[in-house]
Amino acid sequence: MELKSNEPTGPIDKRWTEHKANSKLVAPHNRRKHTVIVVGSGLAGGAAAATLGELGYRVKCFCFQDSPRRAHSIAAQGGINAAKNYQNDGDSIYRLFYDTVKGGDFRARESNVYRLAELSVEIIDQAVAQGVPFAREYGGLLANRSFGGAQVSRTFYARGQTGQQLLLGAYAGLARQIDAGTVKMYPRTEMLDLIVHEGRARGIVTRNLISGKLEAHVADVVVLATGGYGNVFYLSTNAKGSNATATWRAHRKGALFANPCYTQIHPTCIPRSGEAQSKLTLMSESLRNDGRVWVPRKKEDCDKDPKTIPEKDRYYYLEERYPAFGNLVPRDVASRNAMYVCEDDGLGVGPKVGDEPRRAVYLDFADAISRLGKDVVIERYGNLFEMYERITGDDPVETPMRIYPATHYTMGGLWVDYNLESTIPGLFVGGEANFSDHGANRLGASALMQGLADGYFVLPFTIGNYLGTVRQVSPLEDDDAICRDAIRDVKARIEKLMNAPSPKHGPDHFHRLLGNIIWRYCGMSRSRDGLKEALRQIPVLREQFYQELKITPTKDEGINQTLERAGRLEDFFELGELMCIDALEREESCGGHFRVEHQVDGEAKRDDENFQHAAAWAWTGDTAAPKLHKEALSFEYVKPTMRSYK
Amino acid sequence: MKTKNLKLHVWRQNGPTDTGRFEDHVAENVSEHMSFLEMLDELNERLIADGKDPVAFDHDCREGICGMCSMVINGHAHGPHERTTTCQIHMRHLFDEGWDEVWVEPWRASAFPIQKDLVVERQALDEIIHAGGYISIRTGSARDANEAPIPKPIADRAFDAATCIGCGACVAACPNASASLFTAAKIAHLGLLPQGQAERMSRAKRMVAKMDELGFGGCTNHGECEKACPKGISIDFIAQMNRDLLKAVITDRDVPSGHGDGE
């Protein structure tokens, strides 16, 4: 299979405009003849469903939560980038494009990234018009801050609740269309399979999470905006329900899965406190703007009260190792260094969990408080401090925060072309669910930007082009044989899970074990031997899962939350295996993918000669032997350089 | 690290028409650092291992922002700690109260039918938003975001209202099961901003009418909602809603009660 990116050529700043001018449109009276399914109601899905409905398509939107407003986009704290240059500090669309390509370590498609930077400015206009209450200066204009290593202030924010406010904006747009009758919302409804008919994506099989009923829904186009797969690690900053079933089931039906090994470990999360930990909580990395990261220089100081450790005995390791960027080095660099000081140097702080080395470093606001005053610091970070205190019982104004990296975002996802169409015609993928714009590493405040760019501005347009080109798909009804067969397959899968031969443990038991394997061997640093070990252990554990899984209630009718978790975990097993295969295949270090064999002085060593491509994997039926396809990447504008933040 | 044994009385109910009952359990060696939901996770793992049905409850982000978790703990919607969702309640908060015995119940309001155990249906809140809880702006047609400066105090005030997470604790805590705080927060958020002026009157009328229609009670100023609200949203917004509503009824009689935008 040849992967065609379908990106336009010509000057990069004209590509999206020309692409739009050369694309097909669907006339208003024809739009209402087309049904579009949107799975997921976060920034990408909610925005796409709202905009498609507004254009006059018949939209069916699905989410597993009880309301579309609960999608996990809501939890994003820090902000959203846009090349508005409101601060007059030299920002531009080109510079945001440049930073994103470089931040992604030269593993993203230039055309897509440029479009993203271009659309960023429209997102802010759209959000403000919807009533999103971004932070403002006293003069009444929008405020900005610098975020995660950027040398300009281009991040718009809404206290520490930017994702919430942007999602509620998209949700309001969705509500308006539900009110107008163009969008029908299906909450508490989970997609369990994709229906492909005559080579095109034509529908989905869903389970109603209240009644347990399986149903087929057909459409002319299917959009997946179902988020990332970070919960493969069990412990992550994702919501407990975040899962990869929609994308994985599409993958099994023929959609290629690209770069699964690109996962982002976020440096500023609250450390684990015990064995029963069910999730990790992120503290916005905007905290690194004013907080200083350190550990004690001496091991014997590690369990002391940090305030009693004198300045000379504090090791501000990021400031010392990276004088130019200091505490604002990119996420992967900050994360890996925290791991080194805790695991290799044994300088971690905080209480011990089991026999593990102490895994936490300090993030200290004492300097910021003496420089800016307590009020300013609280104005900036008050709600984050409160959140931290609620979880840990400590007040960051009085005592330094403790932080440690945790899985936060997955750059890999379903492969899509410039139109965000997957390798299955008629299946479009937006937001974190696709692999599109962040390459090997995502910059801070870029996820909200991508989700909304895809949802508001790209998908509604490229779907029009698809429908305008195809014009008419063959008729298909919800009760056609192909739909009945698809429901039957899902039913068989559920029955297998519910009837394990020697049931012993609920799904969480196996999920924790899978998470341990992935975190250990395919987390912040990866090695050939480790990945091979993971690939040995995962199938063994999966077999045990199929043998010993225990699900109660024992009926699949009605609410069965144990069954929901088991089904999602089944797909994480296969996806986790593919992650390790991809990480093993990629013999280089780039972005969030760090292979210990490929480094110079502890810094990642990319191999552009052999790996300047996206690795897109095809399902073969054998989880151990997927087929690799490569999309070569070329860089006409931003010439690949070695990253250096020293 | 402190640990404790806790006596639990958990509400079990098979479906909307079942009568329901409390079921007793003991949670052993609960650590102060555990979250309340992690304590329930452990209980559920034990129930599954014993072949019994686990307690169904709603939760998702577990960081206090998605609004999905919903439990009444010893009579308090979202538990004893102010401005905190159930998922952010940690056992130390219960220990601080000196509680050895905990009663766990679902939100109780006729507009929120109980689906199972602690799971309730809150679609009524979405329906209130569908009735005009938005600003009608077409994608891509917005003017530059900095063209209309908004005084910071007004933007901040709108933000205070906009932080509502739609959890429904205000309804659960209200003796009348009123959704006034929820509805007022949205009316105030949009009504304070210049962008929201065009639909301000129709919005107030439609949303309040919808709230009444869905079976929520009226506000009689108990103030329980503000106390239970995990985001600390002030009941002052209810006064503002009532002002807008009154003004709408008096000055704007011709506002259509149908769709804001029928396209």
Judge whether residue B253 has pLDDT over 70. no
B146-152 — which CB contacts under 8 Å span 24+ positions? B146/A84, B146/A86, B146/A141, B146/A142, B148/B194, B148/B195, B149/A136, B149/A139, B149/A140, B149/A141, B150/A136, B150/A140, B150/B193, B150/B194, B151/A140, B152/A136, B152/A137, B152/A138, B152/A140
Residue B256's pLDDT is 55
Residue B252's pLDDT is 66
Annotated catalytic residue within A70, A207, A331, A359: A331
Q: What is the pLDDT of residues B2-12, one digit of tens each?
A: 899 999 999 99
Q: What is the pLDDT of residues A225-238, one digit of tens each?
A: 999 999 999 999 99
In this structure, CATH architecture of domain A36-264+409-470 = 3-Layer(bba) Sandwich (3.50)
Residue B255's pLDDT is 54
Judge whether residue A190 has pLDDT over 60. yes
**Average pLDDT of the residues in A398-425:** 97
Dihedral (CA of A381, A166, A17, A60) sign: positive
CA distances from B51 to A41, A314, A510, B54, B165 (A): 35, 53, 17, 9, 35
The fraction of chain A above a pLDDT of 90, given in percent, is 89
Lowest mean pLDDT of A121-125, A316-320, A355-359, B72-76, name the range.
A355-359
Lowest mean pLDDT of A327-341, A414-428, B112-126, B207-221, name the range.
A327-341
Q: What is the pLDDT of residues A38-71, one digit of tens each?
A: 999 999 999 999 999 999 999 999 999 999 999 9
Residue A284's pLDDT is 81
Instruction: List the domain boundaries for chain B.
Output: 3-105, 122-251
Query: Which of the four pLDDT bands, split at 50, 70 and 90, describes residue A381?
Result: confident
Q: How far is A332 from chain B (nearest CA, A)?
A: 23
| CB-CB neighbors (< 8 A) of A390 in chain B | 64, 81, 84, 88, 90
A207 is annotated as an active-site residue:
no
Which CATH code, of 2.60.40.10, 2.40.160.40, 3.20.20.80, 1.10.1060.10, is assigned to B122-251?
Answer: 1.10.1060.10
In this structure, CATH architecture of domain B3-105 = Roll (3.10)
Among A158, A181, A237, select the one facing B159 at the smallest CB separation: A158
Judge whether residue B263 has pLDDT over 60. no
State the Cα–Cα distance between residues B18 and B113, nearest whole angstrom.
Answer: 11
Fold match between domain B3-105 and domain B122-251:
no
Judge whether residue A517 has pLDDT over 90. yes
Judge whether residue A602 has pLDDT over 80. no
Interchain proximity A239–B15, CB inside 8 Å: no
Q: How far is B111 from chain A (nearest CA, A)?
A: 15
Among B65, B125, B126, select the one facing A164 at the smallest CB separation: B65
CA angle centred on A82, ends A80 and A87, rounded to 5°: 110
Residue A267's pLDDT is 92
Instruction: List the domain boundaries for chain A.
Output: 36-264+409-470, 266-406, 481-609
Residue B164's pLDDT is 98
**Average pLDDT of the residues in A159-183:** 96
Q: How far is B190 from chain A (nearest CA, A)?
A: 6
Copy the structure tokens of residue A136: 């403002």
Interchain proximity B163–A161, CB inside 8 Å: yes
Residue B260's pLDDT is 44
CATH of domain A481-609: 1.20.58.100
Residue B251's pLDDT is 84
Q: What is the ipTM of this complex?
A: 0.96
Residue B262's pLDDT is 38
Residue B222's pLDDT is 97
Among A126, A178, A559, select the one facing B142 at the smallest CB separation: A126
Interchain proximity B60–A241, CB inside 8 Å: yes
**Average pLDDT of the residues in A125-147:** 96
Residue A473's pLDDT is 84
Residue A333's pLDDT is 86
Q: How far is A18 from chain B (nearest CA, A)?
A: 17
Look at the domain A266-406 and name its fold: Flavocytochrome C3; Chain A, domain 1 (3.90.700)
Interchain proximity A140–B150, CB inside 8 Å: yes
| CB-CB neighbors (< 8 A) of A386 in chain B | 83
- Minimal Cα distance from B55: which residue of A? A561
Residue A642's pLDDT is 80
Q: What is the DSSP string of A179-193?
A: HHTSEEEETTEEEEE
Interchain proximity A51–B92, CB inside 8 Å: no
| Max avg pLDDT among A374-383, B55-64, B251-260 | B55-64
The fraction of chain A above a pLDDT of 70, given in percent, is 99
Is residue A218 a contact partner of residue A195, using CB atoms and an 8 Å limit? yes
Interchain proximity B144–A125, CB inside 8 Å: yes
CA angle centred on B160, ends B157 and B164, rounded to 5°: 145
Interchain proximity B38–A552, CB inside 8 Å: no
| CB-CB neighbors (< 8 A) of A125 in chain B | 142-145
Q: Which residues, in sequence order, are bridge partners of residue A194?
A: A204
| CB-CB neighbors (< 8 A) of B37 in chain A | 278
**Average pLDDT of the residues in B199-225:** 97
| CB-CB neighbors (< 8 A) of A127 in chain B | 145
Among B83, B131, B137, select the one facing A130 at the smallest CB separation: B137
Judge whether residue A283 has pLDDT over 90. no
Residue A149's pLDDT is 66
Lowest mean pLDDT of A258-262, A320-324, A568-572, B76-80, name the range.
A320-324
| CB-CB neighbors (< 8 A) of B122 in chain A | 66-67
Residue A382's pLDDT is 85
| CB-CB neighbors (< 8 A) of A351 in chain B | 1
Query: Which of the four pLDDT bands, split at 50, 70 and 90, describes residue A184?
Result: very high
Interchain proximity B1–A351, CB inside 8 Å: yes
- Minimal Cα distance from B59: which residue of A? A240
Among B60, B135, B149, select the one facing A131 at the smallest CB separation: B135
Amino acid, res. A279: K
**Average pLDDT of the residues in A573-591:** 97
Residue A38's pLDDT is 98
